Amino acid sequence: MVQGTASHVGKSRIVEALCRLLADKGIRVAPFKAQNMALNSAVTWDGKEIGRSTAEQAAAARIRAQVEMNPLLLKPKTDTTAQLLVMGKPYGDFTAADNFKHALKLTRFKRQIIQAALKKLASEFELIVIEGAGSPAEVNLRRFDIVNMDVAKFARASVLLVADIDKGGSLASLVGTLALLKPGERKLVKGLLLNKFRGDLDLLRPALSFLRRETGIPVLGVLPFHRGLDCLAEEDALGHEVVGDPTPDIDIAIVYHPHLANFTDFGPLAMEPGVRLRYVRTPRFLGNPDALLLPGTKNTSGDLLHLHRTGLFQAIRSTARKGIPVVGICGGYQMLGKRLLDPSRLESATPELEGLGLLETETTFRVEKQITPVAATPVGNGPFLAGIHCRIDGYEIHHGLTKRLNHLKPAFQFSAGGRKKAPDGAVSQNGRIFGTYLHDLFSNDLFRRNFVDVLRKRKGLPPLNLPLVNIRQETENAVDGWASVVAENLDIQNLLRFKNNV
């Protein structure tokens, strides 16, 4: 089990590397994270929603992701409310007060779900690499922490404790975390790992000796700061506000919603030559991009009101009136329409909100959540969608049902399980604005290149006369490269030989 002294120390990426290394040794290995809190999610082959980082770890293990790998998922809707998904399906919305009031009952319920999922994985795989969450030493949450030491004890897992040395304070974090653990928990920690190190390792060696003397636990590795992960999606938080080519031909702006979800949809665009992506929080920094993208959100109504408060609402409409292409995915698609109707008050206390009015659509929020892997083909008009013959594999995750009004054309034709579904999305009459529920749209190499070439043509630039960027292969190369770094700098054999008899 990989645990950390804090969030964002690199646990997810280390689990990903271990899954690849062990799979390549011929071991049937699976990742596991009892509960994740993230707005980046993925859909399994059978229509269950799990954390995207866990799905990527499964891919690194060269297996198909399944819901037992992440049985509990929390998706924040507001600062104090989150939707709980149990075994890939919505279970209910809970506030922080609800969690406290029903903490013991919820803890028992969650523990049963976690243990059942872990047992099923254990019956199917030779080895499980478990990821913790946050820190195991949050004393105020210890009674209710069912994702760290609780899982380690149940699974009899050897724990590798990770600290991020790049942030500073890593020695104190490791020593302090171990000091706050109970004696029985501390015995489970078999190794320490320092991640994201820059500099001369010889200068660090006295610190490694100190850690061994102070804790009695060996430092099993020091991982260098690795820059080869740019094409891999961030786990659950935006890594950089600007990505891609620093001297771009094509400048793409992305609206940063407070409840931004599945922003990984746009990352592949930054892999195209000459393209820069930048996230925009206020009208001041919007400028005159070559395209404007509206990503998904876990709270469409709340984020639409945020656009009003910040002035981005009018700025987006002004951008569209200039003829700049605008694309919305999922919640962003819903915002592009004329109205958002919420009769059951699922997202806000307001039953009806005015949308941006850039597409003749109307969205009604429903209790039932659509979670489906789909294949899509472009069927819309305009330069981005017309004449593009490709199959785009992706997924849809949404509560809303969006209707096209006034004979507006759809953007895509969906199919699932080999059967046609209702047409998806909508495209404006001039083809410059379109919206869709299709996540992973820009992961298709042909569609993404055509999108960029259309933007280039609009600026009077020639099309990219270069081979398509193979995102799948680039991702595989990045995972292999990172796994090699971990293999060179972590004593994996020593870690694997530890056994716990709990």
Tokens of 440: 């992973």
Selecting among 226, 306, 399, 439, the annotated active-site residue is 439
How is residue 237 annotated by DSSP? S
Residue 225 to residue 204: CA distance in whole angstroms:
14
Is residue 270 packed enough to be buried (19+ CB in 10 Å), middle (13-18) or exposed (0-12)? Answer: buried
CB neighbour list of residue 81: distance below 8 Å, 6 or more residues apart: 93, 94, 95, 96
The reply to whether 439 belongs to the active site is yes
Return d(Cα 274, Cα 255) in angstroms, integer: 20
**Other Cβ atoms closer than 10 A to 193:** 26
Give the 3-state DSSP-derived string for 282-334, with helices as H, strands as E and coil as C.
Answer: CHHHCCCCCEEEECEECCHHHHHHHHHHHCHHHHHHHHHHCCCCEEEECHHHH
Would you say the C-alpha torsion 112, 117, 120, 121 has a positive or negative sign?
negative
259 is catalytic: no
* Catalytic residue, candidates 231, 330, 398, 399: 330
CA distance linking residue 252 with residue 6, whole number of Å: 33
**No. of helices (H) and no. of strands (E), the chain:** 14, 27
For 227, other C-beta atoms within 10 Å of its C-beta total: 6
Report the catalytic residues: 330, 439
